[in-house]
Structure 1
Amino acid sequence: MLKHWLLCGLALLVAGPACADAGLLERIVGGFSRDSLWKNVQERCLVPATPTHADCVIVDRTQGFVLYKDMIGASHYLVIPDQAVAGVDDPRVWNDGQRNAWAFGWQAREIVGKAVGHPLPDTLLGLAINARASRSQDQLHIHLDCISARAREFLANSDIGTQWRDLKFDGRPVRAMLVPAEQPALTVNPFALVREDVREDVREDVGATMADRGVFVTYVKPANGAAGFVVIDAPADKTNGGNGHASDFLDRGCKLGRARPAEP
């Protein structure tokens, strides 16, 4: 219990405006062990016949996912499988053609606006998963929150087309592509798109390289240009400065969403 309260107090300090280390936040969320998240999800959402804990926002055993309230950030949520899956290094993540955690999270995106206090446009929302090297918890979790101001600037100023392109985000190498979609319905699996790109790029054992990828997804609808989903592949590449921390595209404080006036 003492550790819990110490953790909460530290999280409040770190999550303030002065915090610039998203990796530190990630470690704090994990608590004091790398399986804390999975234990909490099991005990609160999956073991009880009828989950009643407030953190269990959605428990869908048919689709096989839980939408879980993260402890840091009022608008920050996690999409978690209802079975033990370590993360992007688990082959099932890339080979499972039946379940789409990204589509599940995107369908639940209105929860972010509810947390902020007013509806938010799809273009301010995003999903992200971090590479193995940049995560603290060994249970797959996709972050759902507002995009950051830096991400919005990157999206507005980058030439992103329907083919993968090499770009830089905050000086780090990423690859990006646009999946055209006039309506914000996510019908593709970003894991599959990244997997195919990596397969063509490395032409070797794809599984050996997938653990070192972060992935980010958001929706864009420019005044002049094609609407659709932007998929970012953020590799953990120390040689070239990549950290695989795709959640850097998100903002736990949801500043863009909170600054947007509520519609009457």
Structure 2
Amino acid sequence: MQHERRRHVSILVSLIALCCLLIACALYSGSLGQLFGAGTKLWSIVHGQCVPRWLSEHKPDPCRKVTIDDDPRRGWVILKDRIGRAQHLLIPTSRISGIESPLLQAAGGPNYFAIAWRHREFLADSLGRRLTSHDVILTVNSQYRRSQGQLHVHMDCVQSSVRERIESIKSQIGEEWSLLPLRLAGHRFRARRILVQDTIEQDTIEPDPFRLLGILGDVPTSEMGHHSLAVLAADFGKDGSGFIILDGYVSDRLRGGANGGELQDHDCNLSR
């Protein structure tokens, strides 16, 4: 009996040691941080490679573009994502965790969606062909559907089926948040529109979608992490041109949810 007890204790100790080893490896590799949406890979690329090289050689590599004004906290970079034919990421040089950050609700801060929109030509450059404004989608994932702990705006092609469904109901989308009457990529999203004075090729996304959902909308800052955002260009007939802002809700990491990233088409198989 005593021998059996010692054997069980030995097995338990071995299992605990194995678990500690796995946790240590995960921490070392950064995979545990990615599992909980706090990976540091993007931050390391931006501040370990792109920004230092820009400051020393005035070259953005491995980023596509680096912009740092007098205040580095208002700077940003554009990086080609390893996933997707055309997908790029717009990443602030300031430490901003993600959609849940209160910094994104402050008035007068950089409008990262607008900056990403003005640089969507990087997608066409990667594809080697022209993209229309209606081919592009900008997304920011929920805190519970991301791997990195640094804010990044996805710039990518939109799924053709998503675009077609949006086109079929865009006349029902107004200037207040409301639930769409159909699903996108199998999920329910809310939507509202933004009208612009000029054409969507020349204008910007204003107000800032982060603030439009949060402080100017109906989502408390403490709940923003459960939400995702997506932005698409749209024509509204006699009302003019503008953008459709989509809001998806993600409850946690285990259950399904409406995450903006699911509306992207990494292969850019766009119907013509």
> What's the TM-score once normalised by structure 1's chain length?
0.76
What are the equivalent positions in structure 2 for 1:81-100 lying under 5 Å apart? 81-100=92-111
Read off the aligned partner of 2:159 and give its amino acid letter.
Answer: S
Unaligned runs of at least 5 residues, structure 2: 1-30
Is the CA contact 1:212–1:244 (under 8 Å) kept in the aligned structure 2? no
Say whether 1:37 aligns with 2:42: yes
8 Å Cα contact 2:205-2:243 kept in structure 1:
no
Q: Counterpart in 2 of 1:183?
A: 199
Structure 1 residue runs without a partner (length 5+): 1-26, 200-205
Query: How much has 1:223 moved relative to structure 2?
Result: 6.0
Would you say the 8 A contact 1:130–1:244 is kept in 2? no
Q: Tell which deviates more after alignment, 61-70 or 74-83.
A: 61-70
Residue aligning to 2:65: 58
Report % sequence identity: 26
Question: Of the candidates 152, 162, 169, which is equivalent to residue 141 of structure 1?
Answer: 152
Shift of 1:225: 6.1
Among residues 210, 217, 230, which one is paired with 2:244 in the alignment? 230
> Counterpart amino acid of 1:166?
L
What is the match of residue 178 of structure 2? 165
1:52 & 1:243 partners in 2: Cα distance?
40
- Partner of residue 203, structure 1: none
The answer for the alignment partner of 1:9 in structure 2 is: none
Q: Which has the higher helix share?
A: 2
Shift of 1:53: 5.5
Note if 1:245 corresponds to 2:250: no
Q: Secondary structure at the match of 2:50?
A: helix
Question: Which position in structure 2 is the counterpart of 1:198?
Answer: 218
Whole-angstrom CA distance in 2 between matches of 1:157 and 1:55: 40
- CA RMSD, aligned part only? 2.4
Work out whether residues 51 and 60 of structure 2, in 8 Å CA contact, stay in contact via their aligned partners in 1.
no
| Distance in 1 of aligned mates of 2:161 and 2:167 | 10
Q: Which has the larger radius of gyration?
A: 2
| Alignment-mate amino acid for residue 212 of structure 1 | H
Q: Does the Cα contact within 8 Å between 2:60 and 2:66 map onto a contact in 1?
A: no
Cα offsets for 1:140-198 (capped at 9, x unmatched):
11100111112212211222222221123234221101111241112411111111222
Q: Is the 8 A contact 2:113 2:205 kept in 1?
A: no
- Indicate conservation of the 8 Å contact 1:44/1:52, yes or no: no
Instruction: Judge conservation of contact 1:218–1:229 (CA < 8 Å) in 2.
Output: yes
Other structure's SS at 1:66 match: strand
